[in-house]
Amino acid sequence: MRILFSLLIFFTLVVSGALFYVDYGPVSVLPILRYEHMGESDAKSPDYVHPRAFQRQMEYLASEKFHVIPLSQVIKIYQEGHSIPRHTIAITFDGGYADFKNYAAGLLEKYKFPATVFLRSSYLGQAGYMTKNEVFEIAQRGVIEFGSNGQTGKNLAKTGMDAYSEIFISRMALQKEVERPVYFFSYPEGGIQPALENLAKESGYHGACALTPGKRYKNNNPYAMKRISITYQDDNTFFFKFKAWGNFILIQEWWEARKNKVKS
């Protein structure tokens, strides 16, 4: 019983310390949220967020007066060496699915929250994805910008696919289709390697988003921007707040390193 009580106290102190660090510690990594799917029928799938949960999350950011900035400003903060202001956040979406248009675009425009949607150039207009005209109309309204998620959205670090086509050709194709410059790339499934970083630079992107690539990548690397995945589990505002307030990535990296150490 005494051991159980001691473990409970230890766990409480660790969680309390983590929450204090998230809420009040200096922000080292600007939170970039990463969404993928939205929907009701698949709301318990890891990649899905229920539309009502997304609405509550955006309402929370608005009520707490978060400063939502585009990726270009994230890069500017890092390149100029500025400290990261609290309540500053960026929002991204991977895939270019039709559910973005159905559930997310209107809310983002309502709150004037800039966001970047990463499209798969080969899938524009296919079932379940936005069409060229839908993308063009959303871009025209000025709140949402579009980047590339490759041609197919497959992990370039694992599949051995043609990285040149996925990174460079997809940018050229999207710029032609949406009649807008494409400045940002999202590594499909977060798969990142130094060679892919270099190709993203050479392809003319201003920056590229990963997921949580680990401590070996600097926090201010514009071609390995670290992101926080939002899933159905973040329907609970507590978990969403924990991720949105900053430094969650550092805690996540610490936890991953600890798990890997135990495995080895």
**CATH number, domain with residue 198:** 3.20.20.370
Q: In the structure, what pLDDT confidence band is assigned to residue 118 with cuts at 50, 70 and 90? A: very high
φ, ψ of residue 219 in degrees (nearest 5): -65, -25
What is the distance between the alpha carbons of residues 12 and 189, in angstroms, rounded to a whole number?
A: 34
In a domain, 21, yes or no: no
In a domain, 117, yes or no: yes
In a domain, 44, yes or no: yes
> In the structure encoding, which two tokens stand for residue 214, read together?
């680990």
- Domain total in the chain: 1
In a domain, 11, yes or no: no
In a domain, 6, yes or no: no
In a domain, 132, yes or no: yes
- Of 29, 101, 35, the residue nearest 240 (C-alpha): 35
Question: pLDDT by residue (tens digit) across 3-56?
Answer: 443 333 334 334 444 454 455 556 778 999 999 999 886 656 678 899 999 999
* Section 218-230 average pLDDT: 91
Domain that holds residue 106: 27-259
In a domain, 20, yes or no: no
Which residue did the predictor score with more confidence, 157 or 10? 157
In a domain, 33, yes or no: yes
